[in-house]
């Protein structure tokens, strides 16, 4: 297929650079626009800042000139890695210009007309885009992926909700410092320490899964009736969020083996469509007694899978488990890219 020209907003930041790295030789997309703040605009990408995600800046991007993020109209599809405060008005301007915006920011996730999308979880929610266009009168649109913690939690939640009917979830996260962006958490705050507050995180984790697992109707999404309580902590790990979940069900599985079988067998539309960024197995289950662990499991399936372990009965709810996933790959740039690939495969984006 002829490649679709795309832009990356916030291209100088850590998630923006993840987008660029994932778009090298992509079969669907070709980066033709990089955009960032006023401080970087007019410089080459190499002049604007260092390459933060390992190795040297790819030569195909280094000499590209950074344009201001509010210079709209050059491409019809953009990936947004902007911080939420800048993302709000900027993404709206791009949508009004006719561009489809695949946003990693939180600015529009709560908008009832904006799809909050994980392709294995709620691919039908892309249809909300048509209602969004009707209501807002623009030809473009905004689609978001959820918070990185939610992304990895909601994959097993989808499988288990379909099989057993989730009613309650208690979630405790141990989140990597890369989730705070670059330069991240000051060393004197995180070394030899655990920070039991990530502002706004618990609220996101407690409502986003309800929208993702909800039912799309004529007027929007009816949220799933699941009670979620979250404790979110920052820990001294570079990449990879670890999460402990206790789960209650309408129809509890007979034993751990039945629950594990549901997780292992879970596949969805991205796998059926063989999307370029889709993991062959979105959920992996480790049998190691001390797994999963960030250094060992975060890069599973190119960082696009969620690894689950330590499945056992819970004396307060029904079952409990530990999960692990890469926060800046599947939990950020990779998630947005998979959303765009789904739209191409559905014929909703054409070259």
Q: Which residues are catalytic?
A: 148, 241
Q: Give the closest residue to 235 by CA, choosing from 324, 332, 330.
A: 324
In whole angstroms, give the CA distance from residue 105 to residue 108. Answer: 8
- Rounded to 5 degrees, φ, ψ at 31 are -75, 120
Give whole-number Cα distances, 289 to 14, 155, 299, 309, in Å. 33, 22, 19, 8
Q: Give the closest residue to 240 by CA, choosing from 197, 161, 303.
A: 303
Residue count of the chain, please give it: 351
Q: Give the closest residue to 237 by CA, choosing from 306, 168, 185.
A: 185
Q: Is 147:204 a contact under the CB 8 Å cutoff?
A: yes
Q: Is 100:343 a contact under the CB 8 Å cutoff?
A: yes
Give whole-number Cα distances, 281 to 19, 27, 197, in Å. 22, 21, 32
Is beta strand 141-144 parallel, antiparallel or unpaired with respect to 100-103? Answer: parallel
In whole angstroms, give the CA distance from residue 230 to residue 248. Answer: 15
- Rounded to 5 degrees, φ, ψ at 226 are -125, 130
DSSP alpha helices (H): ranges in 177-312? Answer: 187-190, 201-212, 256-265, 269-273, 294-297, 300-303
Cis peptide before 332 (omega within 30 of 0): no
DSSP 56: P
């Amino acid at each position: 297929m002829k490649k679709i020209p795309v832009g990356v907003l916030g291209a100088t930041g850590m998630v923006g650079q993840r987008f660029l790295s994932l778009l090298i030789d992509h079969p669907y997309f070709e980066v033709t626009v990089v955009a960032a703040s006023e401080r970087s605009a007019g410089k080459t990408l190499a002049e604007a800042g260092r390459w933060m995600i390992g190795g040297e800046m790819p030569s195909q991007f280094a000499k590209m000139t950074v344009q201001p993020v509010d210079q709209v109209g050059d491409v019809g599809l953009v990936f947004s890695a902007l911080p939420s405060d800048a993302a709000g008005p900027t993404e709206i301007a791009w949508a009004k210009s006719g561009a489809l915006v695949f946003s990693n920011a939180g600015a529009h996730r709560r908008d009832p007309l904006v799809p909050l999308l994980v392709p294995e979880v709620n691919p039908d929610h892309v249809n909300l885009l048509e209602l969004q266009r009707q209501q807002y009168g623009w030809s473009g649109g905004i689609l978001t992926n959820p918070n990185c913690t939610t992304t990895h939690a909601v994959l097993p939640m989808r499988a288990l909700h379909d099989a057993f009917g989730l009613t309650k979830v208690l979630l405790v996260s141990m989140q990597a410092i890369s989730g705070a962006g670059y330069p991240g958490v000051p060393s004197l705050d995180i070394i030899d320490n655990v920070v039991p507050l990530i502002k706004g995180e618990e609220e996101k984790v407690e409502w986003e899964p309800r929208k993702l697992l909800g039912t799309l109707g004529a007027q929007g999404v009816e949220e799933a009736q699941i009670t979620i309580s979250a404790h979110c902590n920052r820990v001294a790990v570079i990449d990879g969020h670890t999460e402990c979940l206790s789960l209650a069900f309408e129809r509890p599985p007979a034993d751990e083996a039945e629950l594990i079988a549901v997780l292992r067998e879970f596949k969805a539309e991205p796998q059926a469509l063989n999307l370029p960024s889709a993991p062959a197995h979105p959920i992996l289950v480790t049998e190691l007694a001390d797994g999963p662990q960030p250094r060992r499991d975060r890069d599973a399936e190119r960082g696009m899978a969620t690894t689950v372990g330590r499945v056992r009965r819970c004396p307060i709810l029904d079952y409990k488990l530990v999960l692990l996933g890469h926060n800046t790959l599947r939990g950020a740039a990779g998630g947005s890219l998979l959303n765009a690939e789904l739209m191409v495969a559905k014929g909703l984006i054409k070259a």
